[in-house]
Structure 1
Amino acid sequence: MGITAFTGQDFDVFRIEGLDQRMEQLKSTVRPKLEVLGEYFSPVLSVLTGEEIFYHVAKHARRTVNPPKDTWVAFSPGKRGYKMLPHFQIGLWEDRLFIVTAVMNECPQKASIGKKLEKKIDPILENIPGHYIWSDDHTKPGGIRTDRMNPHTLNTFFRRMQVVKKAEMLCGLEIPREEAAGMSPDELAKTIEDVFVHVLPIYKMA
């Protein structure tokens, strides 16, 4: 099955009021596209990482009141889940598409990963594109661009991973909804693969 491009309607799902109504629309419009991306990119990432990669589409199953503000498909070597491991994500907020590698606060090795990354600041700043975003909280869109980072600010970022329980690490590209909705399936696939290749060294360090 080929990749289907995202449309404005996919992003508009997050404007629907009410948990049940939003979930119903998510399941019918966005989730099938994330499933296809999962099937398409898990073998690609398996080749890139050298390990078997499984995909996990967000189910939002624990929600009882608040409708989800974003949704995603995650890729990790864990067959049962991804939050405990460094992983990759493709997902949507109402106003943007995101493609990232991530280490969540549930990851038991988060502090030691932060320590490893702290020792690789110079190559990271040299190799991660300037317009890529760094964030320490997956529950909020946005973050700090690489070209606004210096060795000191990135060092502080990695130190927070080691000492702040809730601090996380996400690095990758955010694309405004208008631009993302204008992409053809081929453009979308190429963009996602380019991001995965660029953030792969961070994933491997982690």
Structure 2
Amino acid sequence: MAPSAGPVPAVPAARVELLVTSGTFTLDGGSWDVDNNVWLVGDDSEVLVLDPAHDAEAVAAAVGGRRVTAIVCTHAHNDHVNAAPALAERTGAPILLHPDDLTLWRMTHPDREPDGPLKDGDVLHVAGVDLHVLHTPGHSPGAVSLHAPALDTVFTGDTLFAGGPGATGRSFSDFPTIVDSIRERLLTLPPETTVRTGHGDSTTVGTEAPHLAEWIARGH
């Protein structure tokens, strides 16, 4: 008689969806055309929205009839938060932001504060999945990443891209700080972890980790 199989691990019902929106990024007197990745994590009933950019109507259409549990801003550059208040008004969901980025937030939304803080170590829940908040400053003071171990995914905003760190040449950014964040908080994740970025293509921790020394040399 063959031995009976053990319990089958539960597979999370949550999935990751991508919406790309287009608009402008404005800071330090300059303006650039950009395409932004808006990430949705959830199932058929509820969803969490990361970085609603440029077009609240398009994001709302992607959400459909699902309940929005939270609107999470990985940082407060205008191209990552400009549609957040309109989406919050439509859905009733709270906007969450790390307090260290409030100065940047107020440049775009001087009359509307976020609804709650994101802090390092916080855990957000949606569709049976936990998203762990990692404070990863450097691109901005309050930049965060969200690690979803059950989905083998980390959402890095503009901290880590396919090919290296996010930009640090503008106000409120710092290259040594972003390198420390990537080295200590992101490259320590399992190598198979998918890195879902704020712009452009996704990558993996294992793909990016070997190039840390090159980035440091390039940045000095």
Check whether TM > 0.5: no
TM class by smaller structure: 0.3 to 0.5
**Larger RCO (CA under 8 A, 6+ residues apart):** 1
Give the structure with higher Rg (CA): 2
- Higher strand fraction: Structure 1 or Structure 2? 2
TM-score normalized by the length of structure 1: 0.34
- Higher helix fraction: Structure 1 or Structure 2? 1
